[in-house]
Chains A and B, each alone.
Chain A
């Protein structure tokens, strides 16, 4: 009987370890929905200004960090595979905050709503880019 219990416990431990290893290797990206931002909510126009003043310093501060940004929708874009990007207004005629949304996020309406979007800051290109974004809140 004792041997059986031992065998059972060994198998149980192996199964749990196996699942742990499998999960570690094959787990999908965590959704931003359950994540906590690394900074208080940033205003889109002020955030972009930080990069204009000193891009290197701002990169060091925000690269790979989870941020929440508040702004008005300038534009909602769809790529040819259906992926959605929300561009937040910044007051700059060219540079916006470009939020690549996670699949399944609802498209916000352009112009009227003020959004708070959470995502990971990825880099500055033509815009300040955030990836794997989710909508946190919406207000008029």
Chain B
């Protein structure tokens, strides 16, 4: 009986500690993903299935400050048609010269509370986006959700191709939209969570 009482007291004390100091997600300061999804669509008036998917989006979030970096390898966009993929890389994105696109910025109004509450909340990332070697100020809306120890970031935004020096030849004007739709889906995990193994010698 005495033993049970001791256990009950310990359990109560532990519960109280958890109640007063909940295990907040920002105890870990950096979160990242290396397989974020980016979907891209630039369908013009004449439908030609101009869409691609990339599952090598990198993202690092500093959970102490709200600083965030997205980095995307351009050649990892996979199209259904090989010719379209060639044109995307060689004629439009010139991925041999500009192999990555990035967005470096900060989550506006970020505070510890942003990561403490569960549920989906609206966020805005403001910073500089570099595409095709051109860097411009940007402000993109999205959502942030803390779930099962992960930070889930989602965003739909548009990129005007001309803003980034991507020219569309007259011959494909009807097929290619002047503004591309981009969808980001990134599930960030604490840095250092990944297992470490020995290298091959």
With known contacts A44-B200, A72-B199, A80-B185, A123–B75 Cβ distance under 8 A: yes
With known contacts A24-B83, A85-B55, A129–B37 Cβ distance under 8 A: no
Q: In the bound complex, do residue A96 and residue B99 qualify as a contact, i.e. CB atoms below 8 Å apart?
A: no
Closest to A89 in B: B197
Residues of B within 8 A of A89 (CB): 196-200
A-side interface residues, number (CB < 8 Å): 49
Q: In the bound complex, do residue A125 and residue B81 qualify as a contact, i.e. CB atoms below 8 Å apart?
A: no
Q: Answer whether residue B72 sits at the interface, using C-beta atoms and an 8 A cutoff.
A: yes
Q: In the bound complex, do residue B75 and residue A120 qualify as a contact, i.e. CB atoms below 8 Å apart?
A: yes
Q: In the bound complex, do residue B56 and residue A73 qualify as a contact, i.e. CB atoms below 8 Å apart?
A: no
Interface residues on B, range: 35 or more
Q: In the bound complex, do residue A64 and residue B96 qualify as a contact, i.e. CB atoms below 8 Å apart?
A: yes
With known contacts A125-B71, A132-B78, A74–B35 Cβ distance under 8 A: no
Q: In the bound complex, do residue B34 and residue A131 qualify as a contact, i.e. CB atoms below 8 Å apart?
A: no
Closest to A29 in B: B82
Q: How far is the CA of A98 from the CA of B200 in the complex (A)?
A: 16
Q: Answer whether residue A118 sits at the interface, using C-beta atoms and an 8 A cutoff.
A: no
Q: In the bound complex, do residue A27 and residue B82 qualify as a contact, i.e. CB atoms below 8 Å apart?
A: yes
Residues of B within 8 A of A77 (CB): 34-35
Q: How far is the CA of A94 from the CA of B191 in the complex (A)?
A: 8
Q: How far is the CA of A30 from the CA of B86 in the complex (A)?
A: 12
Q: In the bound complex, do residue A98 and residue B35 qualify as a contact, i.e. CB atoms below 8 Å apart?
A: yes
Q: In the bound complex, do residue A98 and residue B195 qualify as a contact, i.e. CB atoms below 8 Å apart?
A: no
Which residues, 56 to 108 on B, are CB-close (under 8 Å) to A?
A: 56-58, 60, 71-76, 78-83, 85, 89, 95-96, 99-100
Residues of A within 8 A of B35 (CB): 77-79, 83, 85, 98, 100
With known contacts A25-B83, A114-B200, A122-B56, A131–B76 Cβ distance under 8 A: yes
Q: What 1/0 mask marks residues of chain B from 35 to 48 whose CB sits below 8 Å from any chain A CB? A: 11100000000000
Q: In the bound complex, do residue A90 and residue B199 qualify as a contact, i.e. CB atoms below 8 Å apart?
A: yes
Residues of A within 8 A of B96 (CB): 63-64
From B73, B83, B191, B201, give the contact of A125 (CB < 8 A): B73
Q: In the bound complex, do residue B34 and residue A122 qualify as a contact, i.e. CB atoms below 8 Å apart?
A: no
Q: How far is the CA of A117 from the CA of B29 in the complex (A)?
A: 33
Q: In the bound complex, do residue B199 and residue A125 qualify as a contact, i.e. CB atoms below 8 Å apart?
A: no
Give chain A nearest CB distance to B111 CB in angstroms: 26
Q: Which 7 residue pairs are nearest across A and B when measured between Cβ atoms?
A: A123-B73, A122-B75, A126-B58, A123-B99, A91-B199, A125-B58, A125-B71
Mark B residues whose CB is within 8 Å of A.
32, 34-37, 53, 55-58, 60, 71-76, 78-83, 85, 89, 95-96, 99-100, 185, 187, 191-192, 194-201
CB-defined A-B contacts under 8 Å, sample of 28: A25-B81, A27-B82, A28-B81, A29-B79, A43-B200, A45-B199, A64-B75, A64-B96, A71-B200, A72-B199, A74-B194, A77-B34, A79-B37, A79-B55, A85-B34, A85-B55, A91-B199, A93-B196, A98-B34, A98-B56, A111-B195, A121-B75, A122-B56, A122-B75, A125-B71, A125-B72, A126-B34, A126-B60
